[in-house]
A and B are shown apart, each in its own frame.
Chain A
Amino acid sequence: MEVQILHARSGELITSLGDLQPKSTIYDVKKAFAKEKRKYYPDRQGFKTDPRGKMVKDGDTLESLGLKNGSRLYFKDLGPQVGWTTVFLTEYAGPLVIYLIFYLRPSIVYGEDAAELPYANVVHIAAGCWSFHYAKRLLETVFVHRFSHATMPIANIFKNSVYYWGFAAFVAYFVNHPLYTPPAYGDLQVYGGLAAFVIAELGNLSVHIALRNLRPPGTKERKIPRSTSNPFTWLFGLVSCPNYSYEATAWLAFTVMTQCLPAGLFMLAGFYQMAVWAQGKHRNYLKEFKEYPRRRAAIVPFVL
């Protein structure tokens, strides 16, 4: 059968793809289209059945979309794409390097001999926490995550890097400053914050591993995430995205531990973004799975 490919925006005919079967998937269409238009590799293509409708999924067959011989599909250029792994590695390597540079108190930032001035104990602990978090994120990107989409638009790499790198410099500048004031409640506040941070990081890691095990290797399959034998994952009983709940908690703990307002602002910005993502994922779960547990919130148990 033959399918006509039109431009979603202008409605102009681009090409007709002849070699398709009713059982062909959208991914087959993308491969065939890429053969004709080299510039548009499959990840860069989006297709719709209605120019103003939603993008159809790679796995959908022409038959299931109700397309017949001579039917039309609307093409949208998603722009140059870059792999998730590349984006994540760029995002997370930056904060690690930037924080550690400030930790060394370079004279260009803090003036001559700043590195010789005494460090409060909590400053070393904070550098450890920060490095641990981003080292963990880097390792997770390589060894743990299985992404449901291979790529994202290249502009995201700039946007996300400005966010992560900028905040890393903002927080690191103040925590490592020679005029830094240690927490008001001393060791109790520092070690209390540290304990909460470590627990939240372990929780975050546990949830990432549980999410990975949900998806068999090499597939894009989606299932309802549930608690496993690891107690840290039991938070799945209350929220859809416990990884975000744990991450926000970790930064809250970091803020308490360092008593640094910039860290608090970083926590709030991150929480806002994660809450938006969590609500999106939560809605998708509810739509995708009829038997999805109604009790769950998105990110904050019982609240949000």
Chain B
Amino acid sequence: MATATVKASSAGGDGRRKANPNMGENNAVKAYLVAYNVSQMLGWLVLMIKIIHHMAAEQDVETLYAQVEPILKIFQTAAVMEMVHSAIGLVKSNPVLTGFQVFSRVFLLWGVVWSVPEVQTTGYILCFLVAWTITEIIRYSFYFFSLLGQVPYFLKWCRYTFFIILYPIGVTGEVMTIYLALPHVLESDMYSVSLPNTANISFSYYYYLCFIIFSYLPVFPQLYGHMLAQRKKIISSPQRPKKE
């Protein structure tokens, strides 16, 4: 449902993601947030180096996921903390929106890629890995600088520009990965509950994944448009303003 770029821009302008003013006074909170964002930034940086190194040395997409899996799992799963941060008010971003965004990524990682090993060797993995990695490095750097009080313009520009390409690439990778997992999910009947049972309820993971794929359809254009609008608002171009 969302990619890093979505997360980045839907978390709002510079002001909204800054530490809560009431909490801002608290140095421990600030130190923690700085530590969190710097670790995340470094984690995704290592991931990017690994991807580049692997692709340059081996030129083999099929073995890429195995190379990056442990680091990807650690740092993407740690993003769950962002749900906690916004839920307890350490940061100002909307808890529901953050929840959806983090959940959609963690879900893709564990619920699809980890659960269905057959998709781990496809090229679509590279698609969303590249999109996620670049976006996250920029996003966490952005948060780091905004915690210090001043975000360099070039970082702002990257954050509100790269998504134009990275978001479609990321979404394509995500959707195609789920799509390729479908036949294997149907075959293995994983995470599904069938009748009869004493709770009188059934659940089909296969249909759930179909539903997720279709939910990208209305969500993607809406978020993309939202991000373009954000871009217009935040990047005040010194040259002539862009036409619609």
Contacts and interface: CB of A to CB of B under 8 A. Distances in A.
B239 interface: no
A288 to B, nearest CB: 33
A262 interface: yes
Interface stretch (B85-93, B105-113, B190-198, B222-230): B190-198
B202 interface: yes
Interface string A174-198: 1101011100100000000000000
Interface size class of chain B, counting residues whose CB lies under 8 Å from the partner chain: under 10
Interface string A52-67: 0000000000000000
Contacts of B22: none
B200 interface: yes
A190 to B, nearest CB: 14
B198 A180 contact: no
A184 B198 CA distance: 8
A206 interface: no
A271 B201 CA distance: 20
Interface size class of chain A, counting residues whose CB lies under 8 Å from the partner chain: 10 to 19
A261 interface: yes
Contacts of A262: 200-201
A258 interface: yes
Nearest to A258: B200
B196 A261 contact: no
A169 to B, nearest CB: 14
Interface of A: 174-175, 177, 179-181, 184, 258-262
Interface of B: 195-202
21 contacts: A174-B195, A174-B200, A174-B201, A174-B202, A175-B200, A177-B195, A177-B200, A179-B196, A180-B195, A180-B196, A180-B200, A181-B195, A181-B196, A181-B197, A184-B198, A259-B200, A260-B201, A261-B199, A261-B200, A261-B201, A262-B201
